[in-house]
């Protein structure tokens, strides 16, 4: 009996030890995943644009895990919904970094949401990949701007419309949503247009709130402004679901592209999916990518996207490509640094080059902006864009505008020893305007 008891006790001990080891190993497995934060609005006025970016990130993470993850560890998406509520973006970002311990965050759409989270990323020393065109006038160490700066979208768009090919436009309506991106972009465009000899009376500027729905009076004003005998165009920085009634009202009042063309900076394939595009044919958008781009890389991306979403009609768009570029740059930088530690990844990001979907490679520059082609596309009846003009090569993103007096002498370079987001080349000093 004594021998049996001893044997039984040893067996129990073995089971206990085995059980004791099982729990830590499970916890260790969970700790061994690399968490990636996804900070995009899934409700509210910006959900029309941002939900797709959440889905795109889930696909990219899934694809990377099929390749073995990063540094031998699987990636785990942590999805939150800041609900188009700008202060809530900061709260959700803080939770992602402090509680969920994410290695990096991919998110935001509007500049006001990005501005809301900047102090959080700086304080907690994490990384944000921002995938949407924006107004420039910023370079923050903890942010990588994979969307277009004004010289990669707004300025080329105006140049195109001024050209004979683009219609030799002489009068300009700068119509935007009432927040920082449209306001600053239009400030840059107004200065640029005046530098090109456009008179103040030939520039009309109008702002509307997020979610604005009653466009009848504004579109009538645009129509009247365009009846002065000079070719007129609308440069639109209208964001979110307000675009749907805006374009509907253009159609209601019979404004066609050949009369007053609209060139948009925030309307892509996803937004057009909710519209009757027949009356919009010929209106324009300026981006760095269109779904219609004819490259092998793009065809493969679209095929994977539709398989992942189980929807063969699901469209792609420019900010999705920006996340594609930014995510692949992060993977490459982590592998280069041999760690997910933000400080080391930030340093490793500069100079990283990855394929884009339009052909060629996009590179991360010392100012934390990337090189991109610029494309002007015409809306087609099927909701796609036909490229009517593009730059011959890639354009480096310029973080500080050459057309604003307070910015033209500023540069950003996050390499040592400068490590500055707003270095004044005239004074030789870092600091002053903007985020450094």
13 exposure class (CB count in 10 Å sphere: 0-12, 13-18, 19+):
exposed
CA distance 28 to 135: 43
Q: Could you tell me if 65 and 81 are in contact, meaning their C-beta atoms sit under 8 angstroms apart?
A: no
Nearest residue to 286 via CA among 357, 376, 372, 358: 376
Nearest residue to 278 via CA among 141, 145, 379, 155: 379
356-384 pLDDT per residue, tens: 999 889 999 999 999 999 999 999 999 99
One fold for both 34-148+294-371 and 152-287?
yes
pLDDT at 280: 87
384 exposure class (CB count in 10 Å sphere: 0-12, 13-18, 19+):
middle
Q: Residue 385, CB half-sphere, CA atoms under 13 Å: how many?
A: 30
pLDDT at 424: 95
pLDDT at 276: 83
> If DSSP codes are grouped into helix, strand and coil, which group holds residue 106?
strand
Q: Could you tell me if 207 and 173 are in contact, meaning their C-beta atoms sit under 8 angstroms apart?
A: no
pTM: 0.88
pLDDT at 25: 42
CA distances from 399 to 116, 168, 178, 291, 431 (A): 19, 28, 22, 26, 15
pLDDT at 264: 95
Q: Residue holding tokens 């030799």? A: 168
User: Does the domain at residues 34-148+294-371 carry the CATH identifier 3.40.50.2300?
Assistant: yes
CATH superfamily of 152-287: Response regulator (3.40.50.2300)
CA distance 281 to 403: 33
Each residue's pLDDT tens digit in the chain (436 positions)?
A: 344 344 444 443 444 434 444 434 444 444 689 999 999 999 999 998 999 999 999 999 999 999 999 999 999 999 999 999 999 999 999 999 999 999 999 999 999 999 999 999 999 999 999 999 999 999 999 999 999 999 999 999 999 999 999 999 999 999 999 999 999 999 999 999 999 999 999 999 999 999 999 999 999 999 999 999 999 999 999 988 888 899 999 999 999 999 999 999 988 998 888 778 888 899 999 999 999 999 999 999 999 999 999 999 999 999 999 999 999 999 999 999 999 999 999 999 999 999 999 988 999 999 999 999 999 999 999 999 999 999 999 999 999 999 999 999 999 999 999 999 999 999 999 985 444 3
405-431 pLDDT per residue, tens: 999 999 999 999 999 999 999 999 998
pLDDT at 432: 55
Nearest residue to 372 via CA among 133, 56, 187, 55: 133
Give CA 374 to chain center in angstroms: 15
CA distance 115 to 110: 9
The domain ranges of the chain are 34-148+294-371, 152-287
Tokens of 318: 């420019």
CA distance 337 to 170: 51
């Amino acid at each position: 009996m004594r021998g049996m008891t001893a044997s039984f006790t040893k067996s129990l001990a073995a089971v206990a030890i085995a059980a004791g080891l099982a729990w830590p190993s499970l916890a260790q497995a969970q700790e061994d995943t690399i968490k990636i934060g996804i900070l995009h609005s899934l409700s509210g006025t910006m959900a029309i644009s941002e939900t797709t970016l959440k889905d795109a990130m889930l696909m990219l993470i899934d694809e990377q895990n099929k390749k073995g993850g990063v540094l031998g560890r699987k990636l785990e998406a942590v999805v939150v919904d800041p609900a188009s509520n700008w202060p809530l973006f900061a709260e959700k970002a803080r939770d992602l970094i402090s509680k969920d311990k994410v290695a990096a965050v991919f998110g935001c759409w509007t500049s006001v949401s990005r501005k809301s989270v900047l102090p959080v990323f700086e304080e907690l020393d994490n990384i944000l990949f921002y995938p949407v065109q924006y107004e420039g006038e910023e370079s923050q160490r903890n942010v990588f701007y994979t969307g277009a700066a004004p010289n990669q979208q707004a300025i080329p768009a105006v140049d195109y419309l001024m050209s004979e090919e683009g219609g030799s436009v002489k009068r300009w309506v700068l119509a935007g949503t009432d927040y920082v991106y449209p306001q600053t972009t239009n400030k840059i465009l107004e200065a640029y247009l005046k530098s090109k000899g456009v008179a103040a009376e030939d520039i009309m500027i109008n702002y509307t709130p997020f979610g604005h729905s009653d466009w009848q009076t504004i579109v009538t004003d645009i129509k009247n402004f365009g009846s002065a005998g000079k070719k007129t165009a609308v440069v639109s920085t209208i964001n979110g679901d307000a675009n749907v009634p805006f374009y509907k009202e253009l159609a209601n009042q019979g404004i066609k592209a050949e009369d007053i063309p609209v060139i948009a900076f925030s309307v892509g394939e996803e937004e057009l999916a909710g519209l009757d595009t027949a009356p919009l044919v010929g209106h324009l958008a300026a981006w760095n990518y269109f779904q219609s781009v004819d490259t092998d890389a793009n065809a493969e991306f679209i095929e994977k996207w539709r398989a992942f979403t189980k929807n063969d009609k699901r469209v792609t768009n420019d900010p999705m490509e920006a996340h594609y570029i930014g995510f692949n740059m992060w993977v490459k930088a982590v592998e280069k640094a041999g760690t997910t530690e933000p400080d080391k990844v930030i340093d490793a990001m500069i100079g990283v080059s990855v394929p884009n979907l339009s052909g060629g490679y996009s590179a991360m520059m010392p100012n934390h902006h990337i090189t991109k082609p610029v494309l002007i596309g015409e809306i087609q009846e099927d909701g796609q864009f036909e490229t009517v003009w593009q730059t011959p090569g890639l354009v480096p993103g310029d973080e500080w505008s050459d057309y604003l007096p307070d910015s033209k002498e500023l540069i950003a370079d996050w390499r040592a020893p400068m490590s500055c987001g707003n270095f004044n080349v005239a004074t030789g000093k870092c600091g002053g305007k903007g985020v450094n």
